[in-house]
Amino acid sequence: MVRQGELVDEQLLDQAADRLRRAEHVCVLTGAGVSAESGVPTFRGAHGLWKGFRAEQLATPEAFASDPPLVWKFYNWRRELLADVRPNPGHTALARMETILPRFDLITQNVDGLHQAAGSRNVIELHGNLWHVRCVACSYQRQVVGEKLPAEPRCPHCGDWLRPGVVWFGELLPTDALDAARRATDACDVMLVVGTSAVVQPAALMADWARQHGAAVIEINPEATPLSSRATICLPGASGQVLPRLLDRLQPRADSPGTG
């Protein structure tokens, strides 16, 4: 694999761009790697630790039930991290692709809202969103974008705990998101998988859902993953660099006829 910063082979990029250009329906699946160049720590990367905990130890209903203040400290820390974070050129390139490709679905495992901040309109959030909170007991829920939450957020309606509006390990994904993701992977003829270690299910199965009906799978990741051996094309590089170079190959050239 090419290390981050080294340029991905031009020929590979041309092949990938050609697939995307000829595609009738592109489906993208992103993971934490697409936010790495915005400074958001990935789940399983070196910085994936918070005070010695791994995300999997805190992103569970059991952890919240046994120590809600600790889990809220973890989520408030992540939300504060996001306060000064901006989308990177990878997010922006995906938002631009959505406008120039005929059919384009973006599925994300990320909960940071950066795709929407970059201008992506149709985002399928498999694992919820850090800017959403809901009550553990009643139907109260709300978006808390940019708000500083108290250390122990309580429901204004019933007084019970509020919880982050994300999907924890061991919890089912929201049916509407899962159904939308299934429809998108079933309908696409090219699937672009960007910045995911392809470990967490069911997201890790989605490239195979697309392959099953003959879609080409293009992976963008500086490291090899369990998906790499099944991908049609692997672009070994950072998404913030590779996606803009793919987009350049897709944009109607300013000097080509008919784009005057």
**Contact between residue 30 and residue 94 where contact means Cβ atoms under 8 Å apart:** yes
Q: Work out which of 1, 65, 199, 205 binds ligand BV8, going by CB under 6 A.
A: 199
CB of 75 to ligand BV8, least distance (A): 7
Q: How many CB atoms lie within 10 A of CB 195?
A: 28
With tokens 């970059």, the residue in question is: 118
Query: Segment 71-100, which members bind ligand BV8 (CB under 6 A)?
Result: none
Q: Which of residues 125-154 bind ligand BV8 (CB under 6 A)?
A: 127
Q: How far is the CB of 102 from ligand BV8 (least distance, A)?
A: 25
Residues 152-181 that bind ligand BV8 (CB under 6 A): 166-173
Which residues of the shown chain bind Zn ion in the complex (CB under 5 A)? 135, 137-138, 140, 155, 157-158, 160
For ligand BV8, the closer of residues 25 and 233 by Cβ is: 233
For 4, the 3-state DSSP assignment is coil
Residue 31 binds ligand BV8, judged by CB under 6 A: yes
Give the integer Cα–Cα distance in Å for 1 and 95: 27
Nearer to Zn ion, 158 or 205 (CB): 158
Contacted entry of Zn ion, ligand BV8, none for residue 200, CB cut-off 5 to 8 Å set by kind? ligand BV8
Q: How many CB atoms lie within 10 A of CB 103?
A: 14
Q: CA dist 128 to 25, 107, 108, 113, 172, Å?
A: 24, 11, 9, 9, 11
Planar angle of CA 117, 28, 43, nearest 5 degrees: 70
Q: Which is nearer to ligand BV8, 165 or 190 (CB)?
A: 165
Clarify whether 115 is annotated catalytic.
no
What DSSP state is assigned to residue 42?
P
CB of 258 to ligand BV8, least distance (A): 34
- Taking the complex as a whole, the smallest distance from the CB of residue 83 to ligand BV8 amounts, in Å, to 17
Catalytic, out of 25, 47, 91, 127: 127
The sheet that has 162-166: what strands, in order across it? 141-143, 128-135, 162-166
Residues recognised as catalytic? 127
